[in-house]
């Protein structure tokens, strides 16, 4: 099934591998084929197999989700910090000048670590732009890059229009006032 929202920054895109369709939660990373498809979509490479990466990605995703939903909860902070502690950036110089190399203790965690690392950067620089879809039944996240910071929906098609239809129906339910006659 096609994901309803793609193209967000890596950490939010990882969160968006979970969505709700017809009242049911769909997990694009539920099986190795889905993990492989997501890695291809993001152009991410790993020496590990999709089978090996799946559990780390799903656990990392949950840690990031909880950290965004309950930023003040110590358990949520601990879980994200535990993920962040699985790797670090090492600065070095190479033939092309300065470079940063990601080092992880366990290759299975590299991509989840990268996502968590990018999430911290977003939280540091643009926390007010990290948004959850305004539809409370929708678990999708996005970085609001609209000029006036007015984006409310994961997408117009998925949630925005549904809300418009609901508002329209609510208006229609009220007694209509006859327009004054032109004659």
Minimum distance of Zn ion from residue 110's CB (angstroms): 29
Query: Where do contacts with Zn ion occur on this chain (CB under 5 A)?
Result: 133, 135, 138, 140, 154, 159
- In sequence order, the 6+-apart residues with CB closer than 8 A to the CB of 69 are 76
Minimum separation from the CB atom of position 160 to Zn ion (A): 8
E-strand stretches of the chain:
18-21, 24-27, 87-94, 97-104, 130-132, 141-143
Radius of gyration of the chain (CA): 21
Q: Pick from 163, 36, 127: which is nearest to 17 by CA?
A: 36
Q: How far is the CB of 125 from Zn ion (least distance, A)?
A: 24
Tokens of 100: 């940063």
* Cβ 17 vs Cβ 27: under 8 Å: yes
What length is written for the chain?
183
Nearest distance from residue 113's CB to Zn ion, in Å? 27
Nearer CB in complex with Zn ion: 42/152: 152
Shortest Cβ 151–Zn ion spacing (Å): 11
Nearer to Zn ion, 42 or 162 (CB): 162
Q: Look up residue 157 and give its two tokens.
A: 């098609």
| Cβ-based nearer residue to Zn ion, 72 or 136 | 136
Burial class (CB in 10 A: 0-12, 13-18, 19+), 100: exposed
- 50 versus 138: smaller Cβ distance to Zn ion: 138
Look up tokens 């989840």; give the residue. 112
Q: Which is nearer to Zn ion, 43 or 136 (CB)?
A: 136
Q: What's 176's DSSP letter?
A: P
């Amino acid at each position: 099934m096609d994901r309803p929202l793609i193209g967000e920054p890596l950490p939010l895109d990882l969160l968006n591998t979970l969505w709700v369709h017809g009242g049911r939660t769909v997990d694009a990373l539920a099986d190795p084929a889905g993990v492989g498809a997501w890695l291809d979509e993001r152009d991410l490479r790993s020496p590990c197999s999709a089978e090996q990466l799946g559990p780390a990605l799903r656990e990392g995703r949950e840690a990031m989700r909880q950290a965004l939903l309950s930023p003040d909860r110590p358990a949520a902070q601990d879980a994200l910090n535990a993920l962040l502690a699985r790797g670090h950036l090492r600065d070095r110089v190479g033939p092309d000048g300065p470079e940063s190399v990601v080092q992880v203790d366990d290759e299975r965690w590299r991509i989840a670590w990268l996502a968590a690392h990018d999430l911290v950067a977003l939280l540091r620089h643009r926390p007010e732009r990290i948004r959850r879809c305004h539809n409370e039944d929708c678990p999708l996240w996005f970085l609001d890059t609209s000029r006036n910071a007015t984006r409310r929906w994961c997408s117009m098609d998925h949630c925005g229009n549904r809300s418009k239809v609901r508002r329209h129906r609510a208006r229609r339910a009220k007694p209509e006032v006859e327009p004054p006659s032109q004659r």
